[in-house]
Structure 1
């Protein structure tokens, strides 16, 4: 009985780790799309002769700055909380499922 409960906790811990990897992969995908593909699209759609080119470029730079800090802060606090829950699961599994 005790061993099956440990196995259940181990599977739940594995699910948490898979969820963490999914979050990291989706964050990297968003960063790649915004930081690499968006400027390419911006230069394709807006020429330098357009009167809105400079304000849009400055707006994009401001958004990049805010997004960089936002992703960093979000990642720090979210992963800190997420890693704490994983460590609690691992500790619970190592102690025998809390029984």
Structure 2
């Protein structure tokens, strides 16, 4: 029995002892693995231009994530500033109400 997780894992193939004695099967297996590894190399584009393209895509993704973080931080800052402004307006209204009550208390002489 021959076990391999993937063709790229061909270095980690386990061959049962009963097959070890068969030179033909071992040679056939080595030819299959050699062919598979060459096909794998053909399918994997390791050219510098492909690597650069992948690096550019990664940088764009990192920049996009950074911009999203900055956008969220900016929105949070705007919300905080709006909440502070609303709180100041409420405080101003409370002070006006208190001053108005003081005025009426003094005006009525109570």
Q: Normalised by the size of structure 1, how large is the TM-score?
A: 0.43
Q: Which has the higher contact order (CA 8 A, sep 6+)?
A: 1
Q: Normalised by the size of structure 2, how large is the TM-score?
A: 0.39
